[in-house]
Structure 1
Amino acid sequence: MAAQQPALTAPVAESPRPGEVHVVLTTALGRIDLAVDTVAAPVTGANFLHYVDAGLYAGGTFYRAVTMANQPDDSVRIEVVQGGMDRARRSEALPPIPLEGTATTGLRHLDGTLSMARGAPDTARAEFFICVGDQPSLDEGGARNPDGRGFAAFGRVLSGMDVVRAIQARPADGQYLTDRVVIEHAGRATADDAHEWRAMRAPAR
């Protein structure tokens, strides 16, 4: 296999951009700060925020870690971690949403991109994934899914990619973690969250 090219990571803004909603996920491995793009991906962004606001991701888990080593039968390989809602509350899931492809939104599957998992088109509900490295095969027209429709990118990691990579490195049986990483809290960033986030990003003096 050819050596993987360095990730062309999008620059991280000092704060969420206009139209982005700052969401905080807390896990036993640390905190992940997300920016959900409700302008470029209004349907997908609103869907994710519904699950956040309803508390349906709290108690959910990161349960799948896809690496170059654990997809031997896939000719198009990717690297992502996948999470979802509290399984005990599956009856509260919303109906599936239409697929907002990257050709429509203008978003791309770069390192740290937040996107929706799916089977067939228009079947995404609560399960999401975060890209580890750039994953152009997940964009519309990419070859990862045979239908060529790609996946619905709708946000990005503001900080916490070290946590995402720690999740990806956990022991797994194939692609499924043997010890799932629980999402202890998921919510829109409070003023205290935002202050703590800015403090974490401030340069040392």
Structure 2
Amino acid sequence: MLTILTAIALAAQSPAVPPQATQLPPPIPSVPVPVTPVVEADTRPYVALVTDLGTITLRIEDKRAPVTAANFLRYVDAKRMDGFKFYRSTKSWGPANQLIQAGNRGDARRSFPPIAHEPTATTGLTNCKGALSMARLNPGDATSDFFLLLSDIRGFDSDAPGGDGAGFAVFGEIVGGAEVAEAIFNAPISPTAGEGVMVGQMLEPQVTIKTARRVPTPADAPEGCVVKTG
């Protein structure tokens, strides 16, 4: 018992432990870890049109304009586009309305049935410079013919003021070979061929699409302009 009392007494006489000696060290500031954004792979189809004047590479908006895109790719995959012609240039419309037109010339058996119209107000696409749009007379009668725009033609959008409310269906755009499209636009024109507004716009000679094939996604494909923003 005496030993225990002695130990207690000695402990009472021991110097107190400084308060700071019992505190934890200050926390180490956390360093934010940079987050690498996830970039989704581009799964959109790309098509190379090999023409008499060079190659034009197109990106196809198959998610936004599925009907029109599927129709175009059907011609490509069946190799029915091989031999189609670029036959029209709208130089006579002035710098604000520049396009070239291509399609099946002369053999109706090579055309698939007409497709449903996809207005730009629904797809969220727009007829900007470089756009790939479907040619038509009336909504729902488009088959093989298409435009490549060499200037913005916003009047082709379905919601354009003063338009017909249907417009022309955008389903892709040029991502390579824009200079080839320009060369086709500036190719010689027949002064007499064509009918109505087409007179003075028919290429002579026409420019042949030798082959149309799917190609891998180009490493340097630009973002483009056909997808509406804001």
The two structures have a TM-score, normalised by structure 2, of 0.69
Give the gaps of 5 or more residues in structure 1. 1-16
Partner of 2:79: 55
Q: What are the equivalent positions in structure 2 for 1:57-76 lying under 5 Å apart?
A: 57-67=81-91, 70-71=92-93
The whole-number CA distance in structure 2 between the counterparts of 1:113 and 1:199 is 18
Partner of 2:131: 113
Determine helix, strand or coil for the equivalent of 1:104.
helix
Measured at CA, do residues 183 and 130 of structure 1 come closer, stay the same or move farther in structure 2, by a change above 3 Å? Answer: same
Partner of 2:185: 168
Aligned residues of 2:176 and 2:221 also touching (Cα < 8 A): no
Aligned residues of 2:89 and 2:202 also touching (Cα < 8 A): yes
The structure whose Rg is larger is 2
* Deviates most, 147-156 or 90-99: 90-99
The whole-number CA distance in structure 2 between the counterparts of 1:18 and 1:66 is 33
Kindly indicate whether residue 169 of structure 2 is the aligned counterpart of residue 152 of structure 1.
Answer: yes
Q: How many Å apart are 1:19 and its aligned residue?
A: 4.3
- Where relative contact order (Cα < 8 A, 6+ residues apart) is larger, the structure is 1
Residue type at the aligned position of 2:66:
P
Determine helix, strand or coil for the equivalent of 1:51.
helix
Measured at CA, do residues 18 and 87 of structure 1 come closer, stay the same or move farther in structure 2, by a change above 3 Å? Answer: farther
Higher strand proportion, which one? 1
The whole-number CA distance in structure 2 between the counterparts of 1:200 and 1:83 is 23
Determine helix, strand or coil for the equivalent of 2:155.
helix
Match of 2:203 among 173, 177, 195: 177
Q: How many Å apart are 1:143 and its aligned residue?
A: 6.1
Displaced runs of 4+ in structure 1, greater than 2 A?
A: 85-88, 141-144, 197-201
Measured at CA, do residues 141 and 55 of structure 1 come closer, stay the same or move farther in structure 2, by a change above 3 Å? Answer: same
Q: How many Å apart are 1:94 and its aligned residue?
A: 1.4
Measured at CA, do residues 198 and 123 of structure 1 come closer, stay the same or move farther in structure 2, by a change above 3 Å? Answer: same
Q: How many Å apart are 1:126 and its aligned residue?
A: 0.5
Q: How many Å apart are 1:95 and its aligned residue?
A: 1.2
Measured at CA, do residues 160 and 143 of structure 1 come closer, stay the same or move farther in structure 2, by a change above 3 Å? Answer: farther
Per-residue deviation, residues 46-86 of structure 1 (Å, max 9, x unmatched): 0000011111111111000012xx149xxxx6210000136
Give the gaps of 5 or more residues in structure 2. 1-40, 191-199, 223-230
The two structures have a TM-score, normalised by structure 1, of 0.77
Aligned residues of 1:142 and 1:149 also touching (Cα < 8 A): no
Q: How many Å apart are 1:20 and its aligned residue?
A: 1.6
The whole-number CA distance in structure 1 between the counterparts of 2:137 and 2:66 is 21
Aligned residues of 1:114 and 1:129 also touching (Cα < 8 A): yes
Determine helix, strand or coil for the equivalent of 2:180.
helix
Q: How many Å apart are 1:199 and its aligned residue?
A: 8.4
Q: How many Å apart are 1:198 and its aligned residue?
A: 4.3
Per-residue deviation, residues 2-33 of structure 1 (Å, max 9, x unmatched): xxxxxxxxxxxxxxx73420101001211100
| Root mean square deviation of aligned Cα | 2.2
The whole-number CA distance in structure 1 between the counterparts of 2:160 and 2:50 is 32
